[in-house]
C-alpha cells in the first residue's frame, strides 16, 4: 500500500519526504477522501442519540490522514514546487473543494450538529468544547448548510472555480518571477552594489552558464540592487519588471483572474446571506465588521499621513541636493532612503551584516526561546527532508519532553515562492489520552552563502527570521485537545501577535548581545551600533505605516463593495490608493495582479491585521519592558494565556488574561514616533 495512505512509520511520525514520489499524491488523496467519507457516514448512521462525543469530536478527528497528506502536498507546492506538482495541484484542488462541500452541505450531518448546538447550554461542556461546537456549527452555517438545493449547487461551483483561480494566480506570479533575468556585462552597471551582492550576482550567472552578473526578482537579488545600485535607469527597469508581474496582457496576466475572484467571493457571500465578502470574513475576526476595520485604518492614516508627507518631502529635497533629481520615483525610494539613513545615523546594512551571520541568528532565536519559555533545540539528521537546504531540529522542554519537530528552510531556489512564512506538517492535539506534538516549519528567502562569505543578513531579514520564529513558537507551544483549535488556528487578526512581538527582541541590547557577533572576529556588536539601530527604528515610519495602510485599504476596497461594475483593475486600484499615494504612478505597474496575500493566500479582508496586531504587540512588549525583556513571570503568562491556548477562547479574553487590561494603541504610536 502507498506510504501516504497509512500512518507514517517514520521516526516521530514525521513526513516521509524521501519515499514520496509526485505520482503518489493524487491516488493517495483520492483514497483518503473515500476513507474520510466513510468516517463521516459512520457519524451520520450512528443510531445513538447525537452527543458531543459521537458527533462533534468524531467529526473533529475525521480525515486526519487526509489533512496530513494535503498539508505536505500544499507545503511542497509553496516551498519546492515543479510543473508536476503544479499540475497535480490544479487537478486536486477542485476535488478537495468538492469534498469540503460534501461535508458542510450534508443535511443529515448538519442536523446532528444542530441538535447538539441547540442544547449546548445544558451540556456542561468545557470552554474549549464550547468553542469547538460553535466552530463546527459555523463551519456548516457559514458554508451553505441552510441553503436550498439549487443554491448549494451554486456554492459548490463557486468554490471549485475559486480553488482553481487562486492556484493559477500564484502560478502566474511564480512563472513571472522565474522568467525575468537581468544580465549585466559591464561592472560599472553594478556601481554602489556591496561586494557580497556583486559576488552573489556573479555566482548566479555562473550557475546558469552566463557571462557577467545576473540580477533577478528574487528578494535577495532584487532588494540590494534597488537599495544600493547607482544606475538609476537599471533601477527603473528592475522596478518596472517587479511592479508589472502578471500585468502584461499575456498568458501570465492576472487581471481577469483578480476580477473573477473578487466577483465570485462577492457572489458567494451574498448566497450565504452576507452583504459582502468582508462582512462574511470579519464575522470571525476580532474586528467583526468592515466599518471597524475602515475606521481603524483611517484613524491610523490621519495620524501617519502628516509624518509621511514630511518624510517624503525631506527625501525629495535630499535627492535633489545630492543628485539633482527633479522628481522622486518609486525606483528612487529604497536608494535615497538608504543614503539619507546613512547620513542621519551613519548606519547602513553593510555595516550591520557582518554581525548577523545566519547560523548565529538561529542560535540567538533558540537562546531567546530558551530564556523565555524553557525550550531546547537539538539538530537531528534522522528524519527526511524535502530539500538538502532544510535544517531539522528536535525541540524539548526543561524536563526533556518532546515539544515539537522543527524544520527551517532559508534560501531561495527556483521551485520556491518569494517571501517568508510559517506552516505546519502535523498539528498538536490529544486523542484517546495520547499527546500528539506538532511538526512546524518556517520558510524564508535569505541571501545564500557565497564562496567567500557565509549567509549575512540585513537587519530587515533579522526581524523577518524572528517574526517567522514567533509564529513557529505559537505552533510549537500549543497545548489544546482539538487540532482545529491548536497553535496558529486563531482569529486572523490575532495570529500576527506572537510573530510581531518577537521582532522587538531584535532591537534590545540584552538580546542582541546573544547573537549579533562579527562573523570573522566574534566581537559582539558595538553599543554605538545598537543605539543607532534603536534610533533609526522609527526612520520613515510614517511612510512605512502609510504603505501598510494602503495595502489594507486596497484589500478592503476589493472585498467590502460590490465589484460587479469594475471593468479595469488598474483604474480601480488607482482610486483605492488616492489617499495614500506619495510617489507618482507608474503606468506599467499594478499591485493587485501580484497581491498574493489577498488573492492567493488567506488574507482577503485581513491585510489590516498586520497593523491591528502591531497595536497588540507594542502593548504586549511594553509590558515585558516594564518587568524586563527576559522576565520569566511575564513570559510564562504569555505562554500560558496566549501561545499555548490557540483558538480555544476569544482572543481578546486571552489577551486581557495575559495583560490584565485591553490593549491601548498609544504604545504603538509612541514606538513609531508618531506621538511623543
Output the pLDDT for position 88: 97
Arithmetic mean of pLDDT, 401-421:
95
CA–CA distance, 198 with 224 (Å, rounded to integer): 10
Please say whether the beta carbons of 137 and 124 come within 8 A. Answer: no
Q: Residue 505 to residues 464, 501, 598: CA-CA distances in angstroms?
A: 12, 8, 29
By three-state DSSP, how is residue 380 classified?
A: coil
Report whether CATH 1.20.1050.40 matches the domain 3-104+106-142: yes
Output the pLDDT for position 612: 92
In this predicted model, what pLDDT tens digit does every residue of 195-244 receive, in sequence order?
999 999 999 999 999 999 999 999 989 999 999 999 999 999 999 999 99
Residue 122 has pLDDT above 90, yes or no: yes
By three-state DSSP, how is residue 426 classified?
A: strand
In this predicted model, what pLDDT tens digit does every residue of 540-557 receive, in sequence order?
999 999 999 999 999 999
Residue 443 cell numbers, joined: 520558510
Residue 607 cell numbers, joined: 491585510
CA–CA distance, 616 with 668 (Å, rounded to integer): 8
Mean pLDDT estimate for the chain: 95
Q: Looking up cell 483578480, which residue turns up?
A: 258
Bridge partners of residue 456, in order along the sequence: 357
CA–CA distance, 28 with 226 (Å, rounded to integer): 45
**Residue 360, number of CB atoms within 10 A of its CB:** 20
Q: Which residues does 184 contact at the CB level (< 8 Å), separation at least 6?
A: 190, 201, 212, 213, 214, 215, 234
Output the pLDDT for position 557: 98
Output the pLDDT for position 7: 77
Q: For the chain, give every domain's residue range.
A: 3-104+106-142, 180-243, 256-348+541-609, 354-539
CA–CA distance, 126 with 270 (Å, rounded to integer): 34
CATH no. for 354-539: 1.10.1370.40
Please say whether the beta carbons of 163 and 93 come within 8 A. Answer: yes
Residue 556 cell numbers, joined: 478592503
Arithmetic mean of pLDDT, 398-413:
97
Asked if 256-348+541-609 and 354-539 have one fold, the answer is yes
Arithmetic mean of pLDDT, 36-47:
97
Share of the chain above pLDDT 90, in %: 91
**378: annotated active-site residue:** no
In this predicted model, what pLDDT tens digit does every residue of 295-341 receive, in sequence order?
999 999 999 999 999 999 999 999 999 999 999 999 999 999 999 99
In this predicted model, what pLDDT tens digit does every residue of 464-481 receive, in sequence order?
999 999 999 999 999 999
Output the pLDDT for position 3: 65
First and final CA of the chain: distance in angstroms?
Answer: 66
Residue 2 has pLDDT above 80, yes or no: no
Q: Which residues does 656 contact at the CB level (< 8 Å), separation at least 6?
A: 662
In this predicted model, what pLDDT tens digit does every residue of 578-599 receive, in sequence order?
999 999 999 999 999 999 999 9
Of the residues 468, 496, 503, 614, which is catalytic? 468
Among the residues of 272-421, which ranges form H helices?
Answer: 277-282, 290-323, 333-345, 349-352, 358-373
Q: What is the DSSP letter of 213?
A: E
Please say whether the beta carbons of 636 and 375 come within 8 A. Answer: no
What is the CATH architecture assignment of 256-348+541-609? Answer: Orthogonal Bundle (1.10)
Residue 1 has pLDDT above 60, yes or no: no
Please say whether the beta carbons of 576 and 557 come within 8 A. Answer: yes
CA–CA distance, 378 with 637 (Å, rounded to integer): 25
Bridge partners of residue 396, in order along the sequence: 376, 402
Amino acid at each position: 500500500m502507498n506510504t501516504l495512505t497509512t500512518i507514517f512509520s517514520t521516526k516521530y511520525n514525521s513526513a516521509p519526504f524521501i519515499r514520496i514520489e509526485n505520482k503518489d499524491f493524487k491516488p493517495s488523496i483520492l483514497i483518503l477522501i473515500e476513507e474520510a467519507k466513510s468516517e463521516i457516514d459512520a457519524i451520520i448512521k450512528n443510531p445513538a442519540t447525537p452527543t458531543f462525543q459521537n458527533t462533534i469530536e468524531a467529526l473533529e478527528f475525521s480525515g486526519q490522514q487526509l489533512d496530513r497528506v494535503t498539508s505536505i502536498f500544499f507545503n511542497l507546492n509553496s516551498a519546492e514546487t515543479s510543473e508536476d506538482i503544479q499540475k497535480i495541484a490544479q487537478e486536486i484542488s477542485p476535488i478537495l473543494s468538492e469534498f469540503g462541500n460534501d461535508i458542510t452541505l450534508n443535511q443529515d450531518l448538519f442536523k446532528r450538529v444542530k441538535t447538539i448546538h441547540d442544547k449546548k447550554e445544558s451540556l456542561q461542556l468545557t470552554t474549549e468544547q464550547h468553542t469547538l461546537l460553535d466552530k463546527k456549527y459555523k463551519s456548516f452555517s457559514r458554508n451553505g448548510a441552510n441553503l436550498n438545493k439549487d443554491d448549494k449547487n451554486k456554492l459548490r461551483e463557486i468554490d471549485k472555480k475559486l480553488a482553481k483561480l487562486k492556484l493559477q494566480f500564484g502560478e502566474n506570479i511564480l512563472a513571472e518571477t522565474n522568467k525575468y533575468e537581468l544580465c549585466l556585462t559591464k561592472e560599472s552597471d553594478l556601481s554602489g552594489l556591496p561586494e557580497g551582492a556583486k559576488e552573489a550576482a556573479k555566482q548566479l550567472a555562473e550557475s546558469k552558464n552566463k557571462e557577467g552578473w545576473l540580477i533577478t526578482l528574487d528578494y535577495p537579488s532584487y532588494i540590494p540592487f534597488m537599495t544600493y545600485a547607482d544606475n538609476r535607469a537599471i533601477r527603473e527597469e528592475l522596478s518596472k519588471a517587479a511592479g508589472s508581474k502578471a500585468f502584461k496582457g499575456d498568458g501570465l496576466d492576472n487581471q481577469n483572474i483578480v476580477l473573477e475572484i473578487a466577483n465570485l467571493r462577492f457572489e458567494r457571500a451574498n448566497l450565504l446571506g452576507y452583504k459582502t465578502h468582508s462582512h462574511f470574513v470579519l464575522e470571525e475576526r476580532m474586528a467583526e465588521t468592515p466599518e471597524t476595520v475602515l475606521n481603524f485604518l483611517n484613524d491610523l492614516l490621519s495620524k501617519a499621513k502628516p509624518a509621511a508627507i514630511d518624510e517624503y518631502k525631506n527625501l525629495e529635497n535630499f535627492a535633489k541636493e545630492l543628485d539633482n533629481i527633479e522628481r522622486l520615483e518609486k525606483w528612487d525610494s529604497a536608494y535615497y532612503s538608504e543614503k539619507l539613513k546613512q547620513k542621519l545615523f551613519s548606519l547602513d546594512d553593510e555595516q550591520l551584516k557582518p554581525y548577523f551571520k545566519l547560523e548565529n541568528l538561529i542560535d540567538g532565536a533558540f537562546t531567546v526561546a530558551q530564556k523565555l519559555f524553557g525550550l531546547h533545540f537539538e539538530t537531528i539528521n534522522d528524519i527526511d527532508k524535502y530539500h538538502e537546504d532544510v535544517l531539522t531540529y528536535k525541540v524539548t522542554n526543561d524536563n526533556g519532553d518532546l515539544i515539537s519537530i522543527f524544520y527551517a528552510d532559508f534560501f531561495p531556489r527556483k521551485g520556491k515562492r518569494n517571501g517568508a512564512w510559517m506552516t505546519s506538517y502535523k498539528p498538536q492535539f490529544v486523542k484517546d489520552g495520547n499527546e500528539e506534538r506538532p511538526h512546524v516549519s518556517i520558510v524564508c528567502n535569505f541571501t545564500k552563502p557565497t564562496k567567500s562569505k557565509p549567509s549575512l543578513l540585513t537587519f530587515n531579514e533579522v526581524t523577518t527570521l524572528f517574526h517567522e520564529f514567533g509564529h513557529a513558537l505559537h505552533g510549537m507551544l500549543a497545548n489544546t485537545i482539538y487540532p482545529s483549535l491548536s497553535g496558529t488556528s486563531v482569529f486572523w487578526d490575532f495570529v500576527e501577535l506572537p510573530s510581531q512581538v518577537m521582532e522587538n527582541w531584535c532591537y534590545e541590547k540584552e538580546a542582541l548581545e546573544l547573537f549579533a557577533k562579527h562573523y570573522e572576529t566574534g566581537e559582539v556588536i558595538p553599543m554605538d551600533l545598537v543605539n543607532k539601530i534603536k534610533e533609526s527604528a522609527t526612520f520613515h515610519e510614517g511612510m512605512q505605516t502609510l504603505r501598510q495602510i494602503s495595502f489594507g485599504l486596497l484589500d478592503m476596497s476589493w472585498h467590502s463593495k460590490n465589484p460587479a461594475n469594475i471593468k479595469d483593475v488598474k483604474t480601480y486600484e488607482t482610486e483605492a490608493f488616492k489617499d495614500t499615494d506619495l510617489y507618482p504612478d507608474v503606468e506599467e505597474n499594478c499591485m493587485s495582479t501580484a497581491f498574493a496575500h489577498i488573492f492567493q493566500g488567506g488574507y482577503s479582508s485581513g491585510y489590516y491585521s498586520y497593523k491591528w496586531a502591531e497595536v497588540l504587540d507594542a502593548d504586549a512588549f511594553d509590558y515585558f519592558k516594564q518587568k524586563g525583556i527576559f522576565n520569566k513571570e511575564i513570559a510564562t503568562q504569555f505562554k500560558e494565556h496566549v501561545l499555548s491556548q490557540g483558538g480555544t477562547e476569544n482572543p481578546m479574553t486571552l489577551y486581557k488574561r495575559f495583560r490584565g487590561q485591553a490593549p491601548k494603541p498609544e504604545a504603538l504610536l509612541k514606538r513609531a514616533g508618531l506621538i511623543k
